[in-house]
Amino acid sequence: MSTPGPVRMRPIQPGSATFLALLGLLAALPTFGIDMILPSLAATAADLGAPGSEVGLAMSVYLLSLGGAPLLLGPLSDRFGRKPAVVWGCTILIVASAGCMMAQSLPQLLAFRVLQGIGASGPGTAAFTLVRDRFQGEEARAKMSFVVLVINVVPMLAPSVGAALLGIGGWRLIYAAPIAAALVLLLVMRFFDEPTPPDPRSCPRPAEVAGVYRRILRDPLFLGNALCNAAMGGAVFAYITGSSLFFIDALGTSPERYGLIFGASSLSVMGGAYLNRHLGRLGVSAGRTIVLGLAVATFVAAILFISALARSSSPVPVVAAMVGVALSFGLISPNAVHAALQPMPEAAGSASAVAILLQTAMAAVSSDLVARLFDGRTALSMAGVMLGFSLAAAGIYSGLSHLGERGALTAPLRSTDPSVERETR
């Protein structure tokens, strides 16, 4: 009697709950290296004998590499596929996180943090491109909403997880969390079939990569939507930075109470993502949803700006602005990102890399402006920067209509079948 052979697990199906969990893990992994280490910066400085201000560079260098690495990884994923980009990214992340755990000096820690950001950018970029590769229409809109939701909800939980790990085993144990997450992701990827077969015509030579990026940056539909999304990301980071300065420094709110306020307001991103899906089911176009989000964000930022000019110290308009902008981002970002990637299916990885870099750059500029302009008493810097970025996003998106491009958001989406793409090119 013959013995049965080994049972092979079925590949992960795009419409399954497992695929949704995969998207969530891909989207969440980069954020582990940002917010989770916040409670440990002081302990890290004391252990390594470094000034607290310099240990803050551990955040900066990670964000720089996380935002810049996709410019190289995007074209490579377009050439060799999404799965290798995730696998190699996770491998680099595991090595870098182990290096952070064993670092004996600040320069060593910073060097491994740069490598950690490079590794995390592989899964982070894939979270967006896989939605573009596998889904169309309202289903793509819903999946992109989920990705944006994860990206914004995980940072709410990460500091608490980091604080718990700090209490259990010190600051070095925190860097074990990305290792565990990357190992789980590598296990899941064993059952994942590559959605984008390698294209032998797409060679990652420097001249051709530069040509791809030139074409991406010259596409008005991509650039308009990517800049709109990035500007709204700047508005979000204005309240992330400004709210802590206002509540803790100006009002003297305890960090614990501020954490509750921030967490509660950030739940509005979930509300925006849910509302986006509901509007899609009702037949409301992605373009109209973006306009609604821009209107809400600009309105609440203007109200806060007027209140701050009046030197009000009331927390009510600040919380209202935090809720309104977070809700708006949940409405805008999934639709803007998907619309940005839509014109270039054969270069979705490269386009996603540019979109990520733009959003990271806008977030850095926003946070820096809010901190530099903070007067120590009011939310004026937060309100001004938030209003400025909201108006910029609205102006950029309005420019798409003058180019006749915004209507593409309501037009039928292009096929993701490679054979169809070849025939249309």
pLDDT tens digits, one per residue of 168-187: 888 899 999 999 989 998 98
What pLDDT score was predicted for residue 255?
A: 61
The pLDDT of residue 4 is above 80: no
- Check residue 309 and give its pLDDT: 92
Using the predicted structure, report yes or no on whether residue 91 has a pLDDT greater than 90. Answer: yes
Burial of 371 (0-12, 13-18, 19+ CB in 10 A): middle
- Block residue for tokens 């849910």: 274
Q: Which ranges constitute the DSSP H helices of 170-249?
A: 171-174, 176-189, 206-218, 220-244
Query: In this predicted model, which residue has the larger pLDDT, 378 or 390?
Result: 390
pLDDT digits (tens, 9 = 90+) for 129-162: 777 777 776 677 677 777 767 776 676 677 778 8
State pLDDT tens for residues 269-317: 778 877 887 887 888 888 889 999 999 999 999 999 999 998 888 888 9
- Mean pLDDT, rounded, of the chain: 79
Can you give the pLDDT at residue 403? 61
Share of the chain above pLDDT 90, in %: 20
51, 232 Cβ separation under 8 angstroms:
no
Residue among 36, 12, 51, 7 at smallest CA distance from 190: 12
Q: Please return the burial class of 148, using the count of CB atoms within 10 Å of its CB with bins 0-12, 13-18 and 19+.
A: buried
Task: Supply the pLDDT for residue 230.
Answer: 92
Q: Average pLDDT for residues 8-21, to the nearest whole number?
A: 68
**In 69-193, alpha helices (H):** 70-80, 82-102, 106-134, 137-169, 171-174, 176-189
Residue 198 confidence (pLDDT): 58
| Per-residue model confidence as pLDDT tens digits over 67-87 | 788 777 777 777 777 788 888
Helix (H) or strand (E) holding 292: helix 286-309
Domains of the chain: 14-139+157-200 (1.20.1250.20), 205-406 (1.20.1250.20)
pLDDT higher at 186 or 19: 186
Residue 90 pLDDT: 92
Model confidence at 109, in pLDDT bands (50, 70, 90)?
very high
pLDDT surpassing 60 at residue 236? yes
- Tell me, what's the pLDDT at 19? 78
Q: Can you state the angle between helices 316-341 and 137-169, rounded to 10 degrees?
A: 120
Confidence at residue 98, expressed as pLDDT on a 0 to 100 scale? 95
pLDDT of residue 293: 93
- CA pair distance 93, 98, nearest whole angstrom: 8
Between 289 and 371, residue with greater pLDDT:
289
- If you count DSSP H runs as helices and E runs as strands, how many of each does the chain have, helices first? 19, 0
Distance CA 240, CA 235 (A): 9
pLDDT for res 1? 45
Q: Residue 411: its pLDDT value, please?
A: 39
pLDDT at 412 over 70: no
CA 230 from chain centre, in angstroms, equals 10
pLDDT > 70 fraction of the chain, expressed in percent and rounded: 80
pTM as predicted: 0.71
